[in-house]
Amino acid sequence: MKRPSTKRSAPKRKPVSKSKPAVTPTRPSERGPSKGPRPRPSVPEMKPVSERGRRTPDGRPRPPRLNEPPPDPSKSPERIQTHVLSLDKLARLTVETAVIVERAVYEDKKHADRTLSNILRERRDLGQLDRMLISQAVFALFRWKGWLDPLGFERPEARLLYAWLLDAPIVHPVCRLWAQAIRRDPSRLVSLGGAPNWTARAEGWKRLHEDIAVTADPWRLFPQWLRDHLPIPPGLGSPKTKNLEFLHSLQSRPSLWVRTQGVEPKNVWTELGNLGLRPWIHRRILSAAKLGPDANVHHLDPFKYGRLEIQDLASQAVGIACDPDPGERWWDACAGAGGKAIHLAALLEGKGLVVATDVNESKLKETIRRARRSPFRNLTTKVWDGKRVAGKPGSFDGVLVDAPCSALGTWRRNPDARWTLDKDAIPRLAELQAQLLRAAAAGVRPGGTLVYSVCTLTPAETLGVIRPFLAERPEFKLDPFPHPLTGVDTDGTVLLWPQESDNDAMFIARMVRSS
């Protein structure tokens, strides 16, 4: 049974599904007896490779045929990449870039990823491997700052060298150049990035500095306030053991999660395999797959023609928890760059409407750019003031509030954020989140769905926002749903932890409006 329509009939709450099949872009409804398989969205006719330069009626480049002969893997861009710069130049440029990014973060309060992206965009002389090395080295500085700072390294070469050794599974040749610059023996360098646990990594760190005393406390790699704002992680063993497992996961480089849209997933996974990539397909979400941390898909046809989208698994889980039905109207109130809004458009199978809003107009420009590349046209954007409904009150079948937060769930990919967030910001953020949730809730129709999500784990920003809201608005109740990644029943809320599924940390709460 579908959820109640917008007609003035008594709203009915949809039944809770006790089991849920593997999630695919076209999945059967969970709300009642099946009405048969839903038709897949039609895929525009594909043109031969020789006609790639032609345009579709809406002005987009025509994608190649899905059944073209697979390319020769030996000629894959992923396999022929080499460093363009000499090692000397690459080592110097990495040092110069690191100094600029550190100054931008600590003095100008800018984001490391945006600053780094702007720098690399101006360097037309760099190859893909050059860019990857510079990025990894710079992010390693922020990831291991807590162990590097007590050693008082003045030269950036020293900080880069030891940050790389802690972070990476191999000793890159540029490390030897940095070692020579600080008069260390290059032959004694040992990589610690592949250490299986904290004990092994700490022992290796001490061996690298036999001449001085070093600190190897995992908690020093994070701001002091984290201890007071972290719930006990799941898992076996003592709370200390579970905390260490969580911290260890935060120090690992993030995998690249991608999802398919508008096409049969296995066709895209086969295409990536033929290009030399090895997608690890999620056992439950067949449209989601994980690639290695260094994978690059931006230049590949599946990405350029909208069949593939980059989106972390935790972010995908939010859309799955929303569980929209084709033809519904959804509002993504805090859309940001649009990842979740575009996923909602895909889950709606191109039908209905997604209204993506944000208080920041510049972020919506990125949403528009990404939406144009996707195969769906059921998404519109609008600047939101954060106070009034972006449309007629009570007119949306579903509303998603992915609110601004402390974002500790993204510290794997944005390690600089852990050093720039003031602990006093958490109560301020919780107040803002509650305000946005109250404002957006007015858009939900009777019988409709309200989803609240934040990429953090702090109690103040998760249940600390939901419980007061439910007490204040009795017409909303928690709506139990299957765990998006495992299928296990939930009470209507779920915490996703990086050590469990190799994804960002995320809190999701789903509610239903009864009247």
In 3-state terms, what secondary structure has residue 314?
helix
Check if the beta carbon of residue 113 is closer than 8 Å to that of residue 420.
Answer: no
- Can 455 be counted among the known catalytic residues? yes
Cα separations in angstroms, 290 against 149, 259, 312, 350, 473: 34, 9, 9, 25, 39
In 3-state terms, what secondary structure has residue 177?
helix
Check if the beta carbon of residue 163 is closer than 8 Å to that of residue 143.
Answer: yes
Structure tokens at 236: 């076996």
> Which is catalytic among the residues 175, 322, 334, 455?
455
In whole angstroms, what is the distance from residue 376 CA to residue 488 CA? 31
The phi and psi torsions of 437 (rounded to 5 degrees) equal: -65, -45
Q: What b/e string do you get for 31-46 counting C-beta neighbours within 10 Å, with b at 16 or more?
A: eeeeeeeeeebeeeeb
3-state SS of the chain: helix, strand, coil percent to 5? 40, 15, 45
313 closest CA partner among 497, 490, 111: 497
Cα separations in angstroms, 362 against 358, 389, 401: 9, 20, 19
Strand 379-383 relative to strand 493-496, pairing: unpaired
Check if the beta carbon of residue 444 is closer than 8 Å to that of residue 395.
Answer: no
For residue 447, give the amino acid letter: G
The phi and psi torsions of 253 (rounded to 5 degrees) equal: -70, 135
477 closest CA partner among 510, 506, 508: 510
357 closest CA partner among 368, 343, 346, 372: 368
Which residue numbers are catalytic? 455
